Amino acid sequence: MTARQRADRRAGIAFVAPAVLTLAALAVYPGLWVLWLSLQQRIPIFRIARFVGVDHYVFLASDPRFWNAVRVTTVFSAVSVTLELALGLLVALALQRQRAGRRLALSLLLLAWALPSVVTAKLFEWLYHPSAGLVTLLFGARNWLGDPALALPGLIMADVWRTMPFVALLCYARLLTIPPEVYEAARVDGAGRLATLTSITLPLLRSILLVALLFRTLDALRAFDLMFVLTGGGPAGTTETLTVYAYRSLFQTLQLGFGSAIGVVIFALVMLVAGGYLRALRREGLAA
Amino acid sequence: MAWLALALTALVALAGCAERPDQAGPATLVFKHAKIFGPTDPIPGLLREFERAHPGVTVRSEPLTWTSDEQHQFYVINLEGASPTFDVLMLDVIWVPEFAQAGWLLDLSRWVSRAELTPHFPAAAAAASWRGRVWGLPWNMNVGVLYYRADLLAKYRLAPPRTWEELVEQVARIRTGERDPRLDGVLWQGKQYEGLVVNTLEHLWASGTGLLDDRDRVLPEPRRAAAALAFMRRMIDAGVSPPWVTAGDEELTRRPFGDGHAIFLRSWPYAMDLFEAEGSPVRGRVGIAPLPGHRDGGAGVGATGGFHLAVNRRTRHAEAAVALIRFLASEHGQRALTAAGVALYPTRVALYRDPVAVRAHPFMPRFHELALGGRPRPVTPYYLMLSTAVQPEFSAALVGVKTPEQALADAKRRLEYMLKGLR
């Protein structure tokens, strides 16, 4: 290594140091601390702090409430993300064709996305209101938030309404960057609408869809606010996600050790999924 | 790198400043409390009056968000973090033993004798002390009551029901006569949250059992408890209560009754002020009765709730803080709660016969009787653990996902695992 290279290297380290240190202080250290907490029985109110090893994880393995939360989280994420991607894509394609009122459509989309999720939840609380709600009026009197078979679909609808615009706007932005010559060439080659869509538009959208999928899945796996406000995890725990269960254990009942164990499981789950996506993205040449 | 170190030093220094006690000079008390609902907020007036009587003491009031969960979270984080950023706090009665056990509250026994608690409702006084010490002063009172449509009951010559079984019969009779498909029978709170535990407890008590017995045994009589849960479920199955009560909280159930679409409602006293407000469709047509009992159990009992005042153990101004809560909880201080436009009910029994208060809230004497018979939820430091563990199980029994027996067995198993870790 020459002196020049060494100097460059030092400069490089100095430049990344603030970012690495910040990350270490804000993410790695608390992360390790949570891992350490999860191996303890720690309930400050009763001044209990003792090492219990993997006891909490062993209990979780046979805890029906935990497995229920895993199932709810998975179903919620899979269904809502699929719907969001499909609808978002359709909306983006529609926007591309739309001539008049595009600005208005974009603002309306942004509005849904920009609302704080607690506000969205309150909004849907009224939409699902058993006697005065709009959804109730349109689809007949159904017990949306109090029926174990309807509560989760009700929450998924709210989540799709709120985050579909995110996907739509991402896809729309990508569509704007496709040069018109590509489409002209397709027309000259005699490609029909369907062929244009499947062999030009969709392949070009592929990478942005993967990015949207990554963001949305990671968000959905940590879903909390909608269920917390609308159903509190009920009825019968049918909308209790892992994060709601962790919140109840950590903040409501102050079982810091047990709650941290759930937190670690959520972290592992998110990392697993994120790892899978990142590998896919790398194949697309999108991520370093 | 140097800038980073500098920034960190500055941060530490700043944090240090914020923590430094303000011992010299006049005392400033910080009073944390839930946001007060209703058109009139009595707190600022009371605080100014206290300041005038205590020269050198200023009180800053800092309202918290309105949800009980968030208040609890705020207190837990700040009290466990041992930060002395507030001196006086207003807390839900169910948190008093928990916070006392955690060592976060100042033991008030030095200043407040138990005799000083006797002018308050017995249920409120019971919730203020724990393990023979006084930890809080009762400030406002809540009790579960049965609202009924006095006009409808009179039309069919019925007296308010004494048992739930009688209530079910009355609902059938009135609905047959009224032929109004939009008229519901009885509304109550069945959403998976604290309100569900309160409603279920009231049914358990009415059936002669409870959630915890004197020796801290969980669900001591599973058969009676299962029967009570099964009765709640049957009310939904039979259409006496609409299916959506399984998602109903206080406000969601208060509105249809207030619009005239239900015969009975189980709720808290605050609802009366809204039913009697100008323009309310049910104004002058609502009566209040004690909650019904069960035919083979005992008399009905309303669960009590409300807020207490306590002092942060880490306060630097204990004397002034205790003086403030005693002032707020005094008869004079609580009279401010009875002013027109305040939807809070005092814990001092004498105020319920106060002519001025009764003129502003004509139903106070009636609430007095009901609150006297009220019963606190289990007074134990692990109440929240208990409550959050049984909520999904009670909910499962109500919506029919589990049988009451199964739900109770699951609740019991979970609670026993959690309590094992504490003993």
**What's the gap in Å between the CA of B335 and the closest CA on chain A?**
33
Q: What is the percentage of chain B residues whose pLDDT exceeds 90?
A: 70
The DSSP element (H or E) to which B30 belongs, if any, is strand B27-34
Look at A147 and B388 and tell me if their CB atoms are within 8 Å: no
- Range in A72-86, A190-204, B46-60, B136-150 the model is least confident about: A190-204
Considering CB atoms only, which of B72, B392, B418 is closest to A237? B392
Report the alpha-carbon distance of residue B393 to residue B192 in Å, rounded: 9
| Selection from B284, B285, B302 nearest residue B293 by Cα | B302
Confidence of residue A200 (pLDDT cuts 50, 70, 90): confident
According to the model, what pLDDT value does residue A141 have?
65
The yes-or-no verdict on residue B10 having pLDDT over 60 is no
Q: Rounded to 10 degrees, what is the CA torsion of A214, A280, A167, A125?
A: -40
Owner of token pair 């399984």: B246
Write A162-165 long-range contacts (CB < 8 A, 24+).
Answer: A162/A112, A162/A113, A162/A115, A162/A117, A162/A120, A162/A226, A163/A80, A163/A84, A163/A113, A163/A216, A163/A219, A164/A83, A164/A84, A164/A87, A164/A88, A164/A91, A164/A112, A165/A88, A165/A91, A165/A109, A165/A110, A165/A112, A165/A113
Looking up residue A116, the CATH number of its domain turns out to be 1.10.3720.10
Whether residue A59 lies within 8 A of chain B, CB to CB, comes out as yes
Whole-angstrom distance between the N-terminal and C-terminal Cα of chain B?
A: 50
Contact B389, B415 (CB under 8 A): yes
Mean pLDDT estimate for chain A: 90
Q: How far is B122 from B196, CA to CA, in rounded Å?
A: 24
The whole-angstrom separation of Cα B375 and Cα B204 is: 12
Q: Quick check: A234 and B414 CB within 8 A?
A: no
Express each pLDDT in A10-38 by its tens digit: 999 999 999 999 988 898 999 999 999 99
Which single residue is written with the structure tokens 């706007």? A169
Helix (H) or strand (E) holding A32: helix A29-37
Amino acid B303 reads A
Contact between chains at B392 and A65 (C-beta distance less than 8 A): yes
Q: Element (H or E) spanning A41, and its range?
A: strand A40-43
**Neighbour count for residue A182 (Cβ, 10 Å):** 13
CATH classification code of B14-142+304-376: 3.40.190.10
Task: Say how far apart CA B110 and CA B123 lie, in whole Å.
Answer: 22
Residues A242 and A250: beta-carbon distance below 8 Å: no
* Cα–Cα distance, B220 to B84 (Å, whole number): 41
Q: How many helices (H) and strands (E) in chain A?
A: 14, 2
On whether the CB atoms of residues A42 and A249 are closer than 8 A, the answer is no
CB within 8 Å: B192 and A248 = no
Rounded CA-CA distance A86/A160 in Å is: 10
What average pLDDT does the segment A147-171 reach?
Answer: 94
DSSP state of B247: G
Split at pLDDT 50, 70, 90, the class of B152 is: very high
Q: What is the pLDDT of residues B288-329, one digit of tens each?
A: 999 999 998 888 999 999 999 999 999 999 999 999 999 999
Distance CA B98, CA B383 (A): 8
- Residue A198 falls within a domain, yes or no? yes
Give the C-alpha separation, A153 to A225, whole Å: 16
CA distance A36 to chain B (A): 18
Residue A189 belongs to some domain of the structure: yes
3-state secondary structure A56-116: HHHHHHCCHHHHHHHHHHHHHHHHHHHHHHHHHHHHHHHHHHCCCCHHHHHHHHHHHHHCC
Would you say domain B145-301+382-420 falls under CATH 3.40.190.10? Answer: yes
Q: At A6, is the secondary structure helix, strand, or coil?
A: helix
Residues 257 to 316 of B: which have CB under 8 A from any A CB? 261
- Residues B167-206: tens digit of each pLDDT: 999 999 999 999 999 999 999 999 999 999 999 999 999 9
Show contacts of A7-11: CB within 8 Å, 24+ apart: none
pLDDT-based confidence at residue B217 (cuts at 50, 70, 90): confident
How far apart are the CA of B201 and the nearest CA of chain A, in angstroms?
17
Residue B23 has pLDDT above 70, yes or no: no
- Smallest Cβ–Cβ distance between A236 and the set B98, B396, B414 belongs to B396
Whether the predicted pLDDT of A195 surpasses 60: yes
User: What CA–CA distance (Å, rounded) separates B412 from A51?
Assistant: 25
Please give the angle made by the CA atoms of B230, B290 and B302, to the nearest 5 degrees. 65
* Domain membership flag for residue A164: yes
Instruction: Mark yes or no for CB contact A236/B192 under 8 Å.
Output: yes
- Average pLDDT value for residue range A230-250: 92
Q: Do domains B14-142+304-376 and B145-301+382-420 have the same CATH topology?
A: yes
Residue A43 maps to a domain: no
Any domain includes A1: no
What average pLDDT score do residues A150-165 get? Answer: 94
What is the pLDDT, as a whole number, of residue A285? 73
Cβ atoms of A151 and A235 within 8 Å: the answer is yes
What secondary structure letter does DSSP report for B293? B
**Nearest CB neighbour to B1, from listed A14, A47, A151:** A14
* Closest of B201, B186, B196 to residue B247, by C-alpha: B196
3-state secondary structure of B200: helix
pLDDT grade for A262, boundaries at 50, 70 and 90: very high
Neighbours of A244 (CB within 10 A): 23
Task: Please tell me the number of Cα atoms within 13 Å of B215 on its side-chain side.
Answer: 2
Residue A189 structural domain = 72-245
Query: Which residue ranges make up each domain of chain B?
Result: 14-142+304-376, 145-301+382-420
Minimum Cα–Cα distance from B97: chain A residue:
A45
Q: Which one, of A61, A265, A226, A248, lies nearest residue B392 by Cα? A: A248
Q: Tell me what ipTM this predicted complex has.
A: 0.81
**A51 domain residue, yes or no:** no
Answer whether residue B16 shows pLDDT above 50. Answer: no
The pLDDT value recorded for residue B19 is 39
Indicate the number of domains in chain A.
1
Put simply, the answer to whether B247 touches A46 (Cβ < 8 Å) is no
Over residues A135-150, mean pLDDT: 84
Is B391 part of the contact surface with chain A (CB cutoff 8 Å)? Answer: yes
- Nearest C-alpha of chain B: how many angstroms from A237? 5
pLDDT tens for B76-134 read: 888 887 777 899 999 999 999 999 999 999 999 999 998 899 999 999 999 999 999 99
Say if the Cβ atoms of B1 and A130 lie within 8 Å. Answer: no
B231 pLDDT band (50/70/90 cuts)? Answer: very high
| The two three-digit tokens of residue B51, written as one number | 């300041």
What's the pTM?
0.86
DSSP B107-158: -GGGT--GGGGTTB-HHHHHHHEETTEE--EEEEEEE-EEEEEHHHHHHTT-
Residue A287: per-residue pLDDT = 54
pLDDT, mean of residues B339-354: 90
Cα–Cα distance measured from residue A164 to residue A88, given in angstroms and rounded to the nearest whole number? 5
DSSP notation for A196-240: HIIIIIHHHHHHHHHHHHHHHHHHHHT--HHHHHHTTT-STTTT-
Q: Residue A183 contacts by C-beta under 8 Å, 6 or more apart in sequence?
A: A196, A200
pLDDT digits (tens, 9 = 90+) for A272-285: 999 998 898 888 77
Summarised one tens digit per residue, pLDDT across range B319-339 is 999 999 999 999 999 999 998
